Structure 1
């Protein structure tokens, strides 16, 4: 196992449970920044150079530590990496002094066509090498390490590695960090019959730099990672097991659809913080 941890220094001033910044909460949060310790920005929403975007970023960065969460790196794709896109991400990271840049362990485009979906990859050694090479190139362009996030899946690809083994191998070969999405592990367990706890145990914990929590929709035959509901009880239970060994890792509450009042997200954040605090007390 590679012993290069995703360090506190790389996480910057992040601590506790932040939330994903969404438009309806923008002014409320800026008016009372003490309500949340940090914010995750969907970087692709801030790529425009003109209009209100630069001013919005300046206001946010002046009051909050931030992370950048991306959907456009296409880490698992075969198309050439988009240098212009990565240059814009690097510029935003510098403007906001972002503590973390992250994207997903998936592919999002093929032959120049963007699917606007996070499409899962087969778990095998060849894909590990392919993705790790692209991540190393991305990190060179951004001039910092990134986190890669496990994604939800709805069909099973032919694989020779488990989900946890695949994530661990990519992180070690690329020398990157891991953004652990606990909800996605649970969704895959229900949808595909994988073992979420086994995936947790397979991860190199020193590389986990952030945790995501969100809510799924139960569609009857499958679970949809919709980020439109409170975190479910089974996901809270899995999170509790995860933070037993990760009590200091920053956590982010995601809510992208059917966005509720800000207080709903803050209540979820308080619950996550309480669980982590309990484990810190006995560590």
Structure 2
């Protein structure tokens, strides 16, 4: 970790004043309804890559949102875990967005999506060992130095595992946060999807997750399929409501971690704004029930 990044490292005791806020993905189809109906103590998240042009309707819409709400800037193409050096043009455009919109939260994925100049339309998994750890930390240090802010790193949804891994995912994430000063974005749906796909326990995964570094939580819907052996295969599809089992996991996390800013991701087969807003309000109810009293029995009922 560079001295510059160390001086601004993210830490749980310094959580921002928006700790209890709930938000949703921002989609332009919802702009009018959002401006008319609002979202009390809310925020909105955008994918950085959708706003890397100089101007036009996307920026006019985002500027209208930013005037009224905090914004979370979520990157999907930095390829933090990739074998190549970070794309400096992409990094500069990301930095310019941070300067332009001053987001409250900035995040990227523990994944890779490019290699040797080719970009893939996916967030691909990594083996968890020392060489990967060193590469991920170097890329995060470079990104944080460029933008002048600590980022949050999101746990992935995965469909394969690597025999070469020598660390658990939670230990890997903890080591990254400790070495770089970044925080973590806990995606509860990703944790559940990965656990089912690999035949593991989501409860065990979340019990081991380093919650002290979590600065934002994601919730989303997933789709259910079957693999070639007729075993359950979950896809992190972001195209339907949050599943009941994910709400239950979220309630238990809030009981342990307190009121962490929480976002509902919904990226395709978009519902109307009232439906999406209701998902955010469901998260708010769970925070209200669970965070102040840390009562797991109440949270289970949520």
Corresponding position of 1:234:
245
Q: CA RMSD in A?
A: 1.9
**For 1:202, which of 192, 205, 208 is the aligned residue?**
208
Instruction: Give the TM-score taking structure 2 as reference length.
Output: 0.87
Is 82-91 or 97-106 further displaced after alignment? 82-91
Please say if residues 109 and 153 of structure 2, whose CA atoms lie closer than 8 Å, have aligned partners that are also in contact.
yes
Corresponding position of 2:285:
274
Counterpart Cα distance in 1 of 2:25 and 2:84: 29
Counterpart Cα distance in 2 of 1:51 and 1:10: 34
What is the Cα deviation at residue 78 of structure 1? 1.6
Corresponding position of 1:112:
117
Counterpart Cα distance in 2 of 1:5 and 1:151: 20
Corresponding position of 1:61:
66
**2:263 equivalent to 1:258:** no
Name the SS of the counterpart of 2:217 in structure 1: strand
Is 113-122 or 4-13 further displaced after alignment? 4-13
What is the Cα deviation at residue 253 of structure 1? 0.2
Matches within 5 A, 1:2-41: 5-7=10-12, 11=16, 13=18, 15-35=20-40, 37-41=42-46
What is the Cα deviation at residue 85 of structure 1? 1.5
What is the Cα deviation at residue 7 of structure 1? 4.7
- Please list every run of 5 or more consecutive structure 1 residues that lacks an aligned counterpart in the other structure: none
Counterpart Cα distance in 1 of 2:121 and 2:15: 29
What is the CA deviation profile of residues 59-85 of structure 1, one whole-angstrom value per residue up to 9, with x for unaligned ones? Answer: 121111111001111100121212222
Counterpart Cα distance in 2 of 1:32 and 1:191: 39
Counterpart Cα distance in 2 of 1:5 and 1:258: 35
Counterpart Cα distance in 2 of 1:10 and 1:240: 19
Is 139-148 or 201-210 further displaced after alignment? 201-210
Q: 1:136 to 1:194 in 2, by over 3 A?
A: farther
Please say if residues 36 and 266 of structure 1, whose CA atoms lie closer than 8 Å, have aligned partners that are also in contact.
no
What is the Cα deviation at residue 88 of structure 1? 1.7
